[in-house]
């Protein structure tokens, strides 16, 4: 497993548990880090809320919690909205889940 993984201008240093976007550090919580790491590791793949809960939170999906959507909003604010000159990377795929992609979801 590589120490650093990248997608577009987003870089994750797994050794130091840090995230940068366009060369600037991005402050994230431990959960936000795990979510971004999982999204980057599975870039271009649509991940359901159940997938994310299982791999990021180690929980089974109960169908009621909005935990995933809340954390997606947190990381969007930190890695997409905070960098208006960069492509939005976190995409919502209606009815299916989320993916990391440079292309807009349909």
What would the pLDDT profile of 62-85 be if each residue is shown by its tens digit? Answer: 666 789 999 999 999 999 999 999
Indicate the angle between helix axes 67-76 and 30-41, nearest 10 degrees: 90
Neighbouring-strand partners of residue 25: 20
What total of structural domains would you count in the chain? 1
- 33 C-beta neighbours (distance < 10 Å), count: 18
Domain assignment present for 96: yes
56 three-class SS: helix
Domain assignment present for 55: yes
Domain assignment present for 106: no
Global pTM? 0.91
Domain assignment present for 105: no
Tell me which residue range forms the domain holding 84: 4-100
pLDDT band at 102 (very low <50, low <70, confident <90, very high): confident
- What CATH number corresponds to the domain at position 10? 1.10.10.10
Q: Is the pLDDT of residue 18 over 50?
A: yes
Q: For 47-51, what is the mean pLDDT?
A: 93
Domain assignment present for 49: yes
């Amino acid at each position: 497993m590589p120490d650093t993984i990248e997608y577009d201008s987003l870089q994750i240093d797994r050794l130091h548990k840090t995230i940068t976007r366009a060369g600037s550090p991005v402050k994230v919580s431990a959960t936000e880090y795990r979510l971004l790491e999982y999204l980057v590791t599975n870039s271009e793949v649509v991940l359901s809320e159940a997938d994310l809960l299982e791999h990021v939170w180690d929980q089974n999906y109960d169908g009621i919690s909005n935990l995933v959507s809340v954390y997606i909003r947190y990381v969007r604010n930190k890695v997409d909205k905070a960098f208006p000159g960069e492509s939005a990377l976190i995409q919502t795929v209606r009815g299916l889940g989320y993916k990391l992609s440079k292309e807009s979801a349909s």
